[in-house]
Amino acid sequence: MAKGMREIKREIKSTQNTKQITKAMEMVAASRLRKAQEAAQAARPYADKLKEVVANIAAGTKDVKHPMLETRPIKKTGYLVITSDKGLAGGYNANVLKLVTQMIRKNHASTDEYAIFVIGRKGRDYFRRRNMPIVEEVIGLPDSPTFADIRAVSSTAVNMFADGKFDELILCYNQFVNAITQVPVSKRLLPLEEVGGKSAVTNYEYEPSPEGVLEVLLPKYAETLVYSAVLDGKASEFGARMTAMGSATKNATKIIAQKTLAYNRARQASITQEITEIVAGASAQA
């Protein structure tokens, strides 16, 4: 019985240590979530304004032609997948990787029909283990990523589409709804079919020409959408981690209560047994 009590006490101590860790991680994630959410919201006005300018140029220029606006027969698809470098974030990584895997299995018969650009160590390791073709990867992003941190992979993906190395680019990431809800989504990033469909609402003067400005702005616009998705993904990651660590802390509290009750019962049983043995010994001597 004493051995059982020691084991229970050791389990209680171990669970208390785990609870302290999960509680600390929950508080850290909550702090970083606020900053990530503010960064994601701050990036949206720039992306919206850039989209407005591109739409005005495309709508005001007759017979505008650009590789990023041309729809081609789909022979090869590029996937830009945003994950995290660390785990302990609930289903954050698993959900978006499951979405990408389902799309690939449904739409492609071989690895020659798609290419993957991945942000985050978890996604990189997932695709490597399955021998899926990774063109470029980015790992080790800071908690507050800058545009320069993801420019290489986004620029490579956009340029490869413009060069005709694949015919569409799909952006896959977790869209931030709130701290509890993050929705895995897939969006067709290229070709940019939507920007040319709006009518011009503002008159601009361009130098040297609208076509020349569009040549520069379209790649920047696509890269900005990727960066906005990365910021959204960071907010989703911290929200998922905060929720997961909060649940872990609650579970640890329940386990501690159950183990404490079991310990008290074992201790009570041990005391009762000792009293019974004393009484029996006294009765035998009488």
- Dihedral in degrees, nearest 10, Cα atoms 28, 30, 35, 41: 150
List for the chain the helix, strand, coil content (%; round to 5). 65, 10, 25
The kind and range of the H/E element at 232 are helix 210-285
pLDDT along the chain (286 residues), means of 10: 77 95 95 92 84 73 72 94 94 96 95 96 97 95 93 93 93 93 93 58 68 83 92 95 96 95 88 81 71
In Å, the largest CA–CA distance within the chain is 115
Selection from 68, 224, 84 nearest residue 151 by Cα? 224
Q: Identify the bridge partners of residue 121 per DSSP, sorted by sequence position.
A: none
Number of structural domains the chain divides into? 1
Q: What pLDDT was estimated at residue 286? A: 61
Cis peptide before 184 (omega within 30 of 0): no
Specify if 1 maps to a domain.
no
pTM as predicted? 0.86
Which amino acid appears at position 57 of this protein? I
Instruction: Please report whether residue 160 resides in a domain.
Output: yes
Query: Which pLDDT value is given to residue 194?
Result: 55
| Residue 72 belongs to a domain | yes
The boundaries of the domain holding residue 63 are 27-243
Phi-psi region of 209 (alpha: psi -120 to 50; beta: other; left: phi over 0): beta
Query: Per the domain annotation, does 213 fall within a domain?
Result: yes
Is 17 within the bounds of a domain? no
Whether 113 is covered by a domain: the verdict is: yes
User: Is 275 part of any domain?
Assistant: no
Residue 68, domain CATH: 3.40.1380.10
> 164: which DSSP letter?
T
- Is 166 domain-assigned? yes
Strands 182-190 and 114-119: unpaired
